[in-house]
Structure 1
Amino acid sequence: MVPLDPVPKPIDHVLAGAPDAPALVDRAGTLSVAQAEERAAQLAGWLAAQRFAPGDRVATWLPKTREACLMPLAAPRAGLVHVPINPLLKRPQVAHILADSGARLLLTQPARAAMLEPGDSSGVAVHTQAGQGDPLPRSTADPQALAAILYTSGSTGRPKGVMLSHANLWLGANSVAHYLGLVPEDVVLGVLPLSFDYGQNQLFSTWAAGATVAPLDYLTARDVVKAVDRVGATTLAGVPPLWLQLLDADWPADTAAKLRRLTNSGGALTVRMVRSLRERFPAADLYPMYGLTEAFRSTYLPPALVDAHPDSMGRAIPHAEVMVVRPDGTSAAPGEPGELVHAGPLVAHGYWNDPERTAARFRQAPGFSQAGGTAVWSGDTVVADATGLLRFVGRDDEMIKSAGNRISPAEVEEAVMAGGEAAEAVAIGIPDARLGQAIVVVARGDASDEAALRERLKRELPNFMQPARFEWRSELPRNANGKLDRAAIRDAVRLGEGAP
């Protein structure tokens, strides 16, 4: 197991395995740790030859190529700030990120470069192939120096860039490698976007443990199944929509048995999904986690506690202080809902070029905080039990207020999906003259199952939590990170508002 180390280093030091150990495996073959280190050094040398100023931003808009995997090490080594752009984003979002970040260079592919219109890349040197410069030695940068800007998916408004230091990235890698118990023999299948903090950390935490990353761009769940078998993956990270797809896929027993570790973030697992994952992958430890890009990750639930606490998001990860805070800034009691506030060295450095939103989200830690300093005030409501295990209640701006009750959309959604009538569900509050807000559920499934679903919900939910209306869809919209696009769903429902 990787020991906990509170002393950060520049992130390009993260390749920690034996020189001849495999660091990255893809369809082109295997890169050893020494080869990955050499290629990152050459990429850094190529960037340095562009003679940008220290701290300038360089962007990548790529699938999971070797350059996309190594640029997060190479750019900081050259004294630059890496801006990974999700390859699923379209031209308007890419143009915004390039302009907002002030990127000086974009590394992409010819087809993507051709999508950009005049003015989208003004002042940006667009390259469709990376060069090889004189290798640069490992960085001696201050760990608090900026190393990356990760743009959130921007489900409402334009994407905003979260500023991450070497220390943020290094300590996140150390924390995850430690609590997941990663070892050099592990092979981590990297299916998540590298522009997503969860996906990028798969590179760093795997390499910090001396293990192997197998990056994968996939089209179907079957592609993931085949890749697990092909590379002998022991670890798979996902978000709830991906788990639903994978649970619907055909898994040969010997392939499912290869997986020893499943991790989830980007949305809470339902009790039903937890049980389904445990049944489908009986040899795998399951790690439910909660995170936000502004602090990387906040909590995880040890596998030994999953069966007894399937709706819990766990406790603080190493290097993090997580608090449940009342509106008056004091500590909430066990069983009392409050805002999740995250302090400590994983807290990001704010939003790039956006002091107003930075001031709203990044504020002084509560007076009872042990870490002190700047904290991330998440806007998420959670509750801790007597043992300190946390449970997600909902976002303050998504809570449904009906007949004087504050209702968690997540609780309604979990109840809707518990019986199998709906594969996915999003609960939304819409204005109602009598109730204040009425509950509308947009669900993926067959409308013919609604009568049975309503009958079950009458047994399982109190009257004030009963949906007033169901809207059935064959598919639900998703954002660029594969999460359900709640804002789009909410806007579509509210545009068609009427009497529920």
Structure 2
Amino acid sequence: MRYERFLFDSAARDPGHVALVCNGRRTTYAQLADQAARFARVLLDEAGLANGDRCLLFLENRSETAVALFGTLAAGGVFSVINPATRAGKLAYLLQDSGAGVLVTQTSLLEQAREAAAQAPGLRRIIVVDAPAGALREGELDWATALSSAQPLPPTPRGIDIDLAMLVYTSGSTGRPKGVMMTHRNMVHVSESITRYLESRPDDVVLSVLPLAFDYGLYQLLMCVRMGATLVLEKSFAFPQKILPLLASEGVTVFPLVPTMAALIVQMRNLRPEWVAGVRTITNTAAALPPAHILRLRELFPNARLFSMYGVTESKRCTWLPPDELDRRPDSVGIAIPDTEAWVADDGGRPLPPGETGELVVRGGHVMQGYWNDPDATARALKPGRYPWEKVLHTGDLFRMDADGFFYFVARRDDIIKTRGEKVSPKEVENVLYALPGVREAAVVGVPDDILGRSLKAIIALEQGVELSARDVVAHCAAQLEDFMVPRQVEFRGALPKTGTGKIRRSALQAEAEGRVLPAEDE
């Protein structure tokens, strides 16, 4: 099955049900399907899109992004949502690397888009949302005019389920962004698995402040459309006091979080019980929540089940922790998601026994097809599996597994700090720091040391009004950690640097500790 089919099926089943709430507008499933079908026609007739052609969506979280996404699929194309904070130079690289023929953007981003387009000779059309009259140049189309004059494309599949559906560009601490290739079949498989264990329902209302360019945010849209549920789409969580009342006013039942959002919520003193009463599901991924934050979230959202999860862009989701296991295993990220397998492997890919640390390996229909235009990186990530015809994903992340088969994140392989001859996972120290009352954000890095090789440094942001000294922090750690894991330095900051998806940029802090500078988009 191709993924756009879910939109047309949901529209046929309940056309008047609200699909999207965004920027004060409510879009029903009938309207979303109609607009997507019109956009598909525009891509075919006005932009010359052929099956498998790439369409980049350089847009904020808005209803037009959803329309363009499903319209691209309906036209037989491949979409890629690009973070609106992306600079022109990087956008030019993404256009060149993907070979995109179409770029969809908005007026506020048009100058960056034009600058990037000038370096992408293969780009045929720029389609602009909210374009003022007379502002467009040759080769640019006005979104509203184009859609209003287009006849909806009949919802007949223009391809099959093994066709490429999307590219999700992801970066590491070094190198250029890599395009993760996902087929329709990949997307159908993983969305079915996730909605099954979350027990998703058509009457769900999901509040998402996560960028659609971030696969965790993207799948909120994809899964809502699959179920026929409602997505309340906001641009960010920069102003929690504005966002959190929506939980009540929109009747939100599902609230996806990342750890930096949780850190803001748990320190709030005026979170009203009536705001959170209807929330029955909270999900977390991107990074593991500190156990102290899990405990506080459960207190603040007494009617919600909390799902701790782990995933990578290359397979979307890897593990989930059943909520009834939280009390017994608060620091676990759970078991393999339904219809997949995972194990902890040694350097040769062989399974390790419980308790030993190794690389997490993942097997299933959610595993990517590879990295676009990067066979070397693909070969490093996808390796021969159990059967001659399959490849399994080597995530590059270090885990251990307990005797019951539950997984525990240890660190990214590159994050491990060696000090005094011992290996230290920054995450383990950070969990202890988060348990210290008053700590809002924390990261641990290794500082070059002539004697120790590396010494540990804790970089901390405190809650407003809290005062702690370096001595307080060190004493807290010394009471709970082995001596070699106790930070020797403590630095206080107002806030820690973050990626566009809300993760603390530990690699940038590590580079700073080593006297290097890491560009903002390189993580």
Report if TM-score (shorter chain) is over 0.5: yes
- 2:288 aligned residue: 268
Deviation at 1:363, TM superposition (A): 1.5
Distance 1:153 1:216, change over 3 A: farther
Aligned match for 1:242, one of 261, 278, 296: 261
Percent identity (aligned):
34
- Secondary structure (helix, strand or coil) at the match of 1:273 reads helix
Q: Residue 447 of structure 1: CA displacement? A: 7.5
Correspondences of 1:77-476 after superposition (within 5 Å): 77-116=74-113, 117=115, 119-124=118-123, 125-129=125-129, 130=143, 131-132=146-147, 133-136=150-153, 137-218=155-236, 219-249=238-268, 250-365=270-385, 369=386, 373-445=390-462, 448-476=468-496
Deviation at 1:192? 0.8
Contact 2:267 2:440 in 1 (8 A): no
CA distance in 2, matches of 1:210, 1:370: 37
Match of 1:41 in 2: 37
Aligned amino acid, residue 489 of structure 2 = R
1:421 deviates by 4.3
More deviation in 141-150 or 109-118? 109-118
Aligned residues: 486
Counterparts of 1:424 and 1:243 in 2: how far apart (Å)?
10
- Asked if the contact 1:172–1:205 (Cα under 8 Å) also holds between the matched residues in 2, the reply is no
Work out whether 1:13 is the aligned partner of 2:5: yes
Task: Tell me the amino acid that sits aligned with residue 108 of structure 2.
Answer: A
* Residues 89 and 480, structure 1, Cα contact 8 Å, conserved in 2: no
- Please give the per-residue CA displacement for 1:188-220, whole angstroms capped at 9, x wherever unaligned: 112111111111111111222221111111331
Match of 1:5 in 2: none
Q: Select 1:23's aligned residue among 4, 11, 19.
A: 19
What amino acid is aligned across from residue 100 of structure 1 in structure 2?
D
TM-score (norm 1): 0.93
**Secondary structure at 1:204's aligned position in 2?**
helix
Whole-angstrom CA distance in 1 between matches of 2:440 and 2:61: 29
Q: In structure 1, what is the equivalent of residue 135 of structure 2? A: none
Amino acid at match of 1:66: S
User: Which runs of structure 1 show a deviation greater than 6 angstroms over 4 or more consecutive aligned residues?
Assistant: none
- Cα deviation, 1:327-350, whole Å, max 9, x if unaligned, reads 232211111112100111101111
Distance 2:367 2:413 in 1: 21
* 1:146 counterpart letter in structure 2: L
In structure 1, the residue corresponding to 2:261 is in which secondary structure?
A: helix
- CA gap 1:315/1:120 in 2 versus in 1, 3 angstroms: same
CA contact (8 A) 2:264 2:440 kept: no
C-alpha distance in 2 between matches for 1:70 and 1:43: 7
Post-superposition CA distance 1:444-463 (Å, at most 9, x none): 13774221121121111111
Matched, 1:492 2:488: no
Residues 261-290 of structure 1: per-residue CA shift (max 9 Å, x gap): 100000110010100100111111100000
Residues 1:371 and 1:468: Cα distance change in structure 2 (over 3 Å): farther
- d(CA) in 2 for partners of 1:214 and 1:235? 10
Counterpart residue number, 1:70: 67
- Letter aligned with residue 185 of structure 1: D
Q: What is residue 6 of structure 1 aligned with on the other side?
A: none
CA distance in 2 between partners of 1:11 and 1:101 (Å): 21
The answer as to whether partners of 1:93 and 1:158 remain within 8 angstroms in 2 is no
In structure 2, the residue corresponding to 1:151 is in which secondary structure? strand
Q: 1:311 to 1:185 in 2, by over 3 A?
A: same
Distance 1:402 1:447, change over 3 A: farther
Once residues 477 and 370 of structure 2 are traced to their aligned partners in structure 1, the CA distance between those partners, rounded to angstroms, is 42
SS in 2 for 1:149: strand
Kept in 1, the 8 Å contact 2:49–2:75? The answer is no
Distance 2:400 2:152 in 1: 50
Name the counterpart of 2:520: none
Could you tell me whether the CA contact under 8 Å between 1:421 and 1:450 is conserved in 2?
no
Structure 1 stretch 87-96 or stretch 467-476: which is displaced more?
87-96
Choose 335-344 or 20-29, whichever is displaced more: 20-29
Q: Is the 8 A contact 2:341 2:364 kept in 1?
A: yes
Contact 2:23–2:62 (Cα < 8 Å) also in 1: no
Mapped contact 1:343–1:372 kept (Cα < 8 A): no
Deviations 1:359-390 (A, max 9, x none): 1112112xxx4897111111111111111111
Q: What is the CA RMSD across the aligned residues, in angstroms?
A: 2.0
User: Residue type matched to 1:419 in 2?
Assistant: L
Output the amino acid matched with 1:165: T
- Cα 1:426–1:370 shift into 2, 3 Å: farther
For residues 217 and 283 of structure 1, the distance between their equivalents in structure 2, rounded to whole angstroms, comes to: 26
| Runs of 5+ unmatched residues, structure 1 | 1-8
**1:183 shift after superposition:** 0.9
| Distance in 2, Cα, partners of 1:53 & 1:22 | 31
The 3-state SS of whatever aligns with 1:359 is helix
Could you say if the C-alpha distance between residues 138 and 301 of structure 1 is closer, same or farther in structure 2, counting changes exceeding 3 Å? farther
